[in-house]
Amino acid sequence: MTGDRMKSKVFFTDMKGSPGSGMLVKTERLFDAAGYSDLFKKRELVAVKIHFGERGNTAFIPPIYARRVVDRIKTAGARPFLTDANTLYVGGRSNAASHIVTALTNGFSYATVNAPVIIADGLTGKEYVEVDVGLEHFASVRIAGAAAHADGIMALSHFKGHEMTGFGGAIKNIGMGLGCRSGKQQMHADVKPKVDPAICIGCGKCSRWCQPGAIKVVGERAQIDLSLCQGCGECIVTCPQQAIAVDWGTDTKLMQEKIAEYAFGALAGKEGKVGFINFIMNITPDCDCWGYSDAALMPDVGIAASTDPVALDQASIDLVNEVAGRDVFKETHKNVDWSVQLAHAEKIGLGHRDYELVKVG
Ligand code: SF4
Ligand code: SF4
């Protein structure tokens, strides 16, 4: 107990398997142990939020796990659909047509997952609901329409490292993930890139991918006009020389806090109708938005679930660090303080960082 409040429960199953007790069966057990069987009622529309992975990425949650969760939700008679919102950067998921093709390419077909894929902010990312939140950075946030209109949310998050927030888990999945494209721009706006002129070869590739036209090649070196830059990070991903990086003089702390506020908005009005499952597996250094996946930083840890996204992310971090014997994400992204998103999320009432871990066999 903390004061008169019960600690949030986080349910966890490790990677150990045995006949009749593989990870898919354990996923179902976790679902039931977390109380998710009673979360949704007949005919309710449930947004199963998942990152389908960028084209070429291989680290995203395998569709077979989504299938088990979908089937479990359907048992109650509810109507799940798999969803994500379009990306700010120009890639394989920046409009609904490309996004659905990418999802299919990565294995998220109806035949596989037993639910339709609906891109939450529509064809071009402009379908959103302005949700009043009255928080520190935002009076209101722009939540992708299909998620805002759904009766409930089941967030399946690949727990891993992230280049801008240290780690990505439940909070980032629903915060950044359910912001529409202009919402994502609001969250990214304070994070700016920087070109290393010693590495840049002036190929101009970054310039061609920069939507607002902020990059020009001058004298065989790329130059960024920060007054035009939207902070989408597309140029960082695109540069073949890795000559562009986040300028750590800019404020990633602010972005983390903004993500937490977007997460708050995504959950508004859905009290008692949300569940979160973190897949602490294939713990790669960076986001699944990249068109490739780097080697995992450490062995797989397991799967965790909670109705409190803050407790769940904190527990996931603790489990990772306990298995690794070090602060994995601090070591990987030295300039990012990953605790910021958790601290702000707790401050605004999204959840609590103290938790009780319940092991599920
Ligand atoms: S893509 Fe990279 S190497 Fe090419 S111009 Fe841009 S910064 Fe320079
Ligand atoms: S310069 Fe700014 S807007 Fe252009 S691609 Fe890079 S981060 Fe995005």
Using CB distances shorter than 6 Å, the residues near ligand 1 are: 195, 200-206, 217, 222, 239, 241, 243-244
Domain residue limits at 177: 8-188+248-359
**290 and 236 within one domain:** no
Look at residue 266 and tell me if it is in a domain: yes
Pocket test for ligand 2, best of 164, 187, 230 (most atoms within 8 A of CB): 230
- Which residue, judged by its Cα, is nearest atom 4 of ligand 2? 210
Specify the pTM: 0.88
Look at residue 3 and tell me if it is in a domain: no
Q: How many CB atoms lie within 10 A of CB 335?
A: 12
Residue 9 and residue 28: Cα distance in Å, rounded?
Answer: 17
pLDDT band at 2 (very low <50, low <70, confident <90, very high): very low
34-87 pLDDT, tens digit each = 999 999 999 999 999 999 999 999 999 999 999 999 999 999 999 999 999 998
pLDDT at 1 over 70: no
What pLDDT, on the 0 to 100 scale, is given for residue 191?
Answer: 79
Q: What angle do CA 140, 142, 144 make, to 5 degrees?
A: 150
258-306 pLDDT, tens digit each = 999 999 999 999 999 999 999 999 999 999 998 899 999 999 999 999 9
Interhelix angle 339-347/309-324, nearest 10 degrees: 150
- Total domains in the chain come to 2
Q: Which of 245, 260, 277 is the last residue of a domain?
A: 245
Look at residue 293 and tell me if it is in a domain: yes
**Contact 126/92 with Cβ under 8 angstroms?**
no
Residue 81 and residue 91: Cα distance in Å, rounded?
Answer: 23
Closest ligand 1 atom to residue 199 Cα is: 3
Distance (angstroms) between ligand 2 centre and the Cα of 138 equals: 23
Look at residue 2 and tell me if it is in a domain: no
Look at residue 31 and tell me if it is in a domain: yes
Distance (angstroms) between ligand 2 centre and the Cα of 55 equals: 20
**343 and 300 within one domain:** yes
Distance (angstroms) between ligand 1 centre and the Cα of 245 equals: 11
| CB of 230 sitting under 6 A from ligand 2 | yes
**266 and 234 within one domain:** no
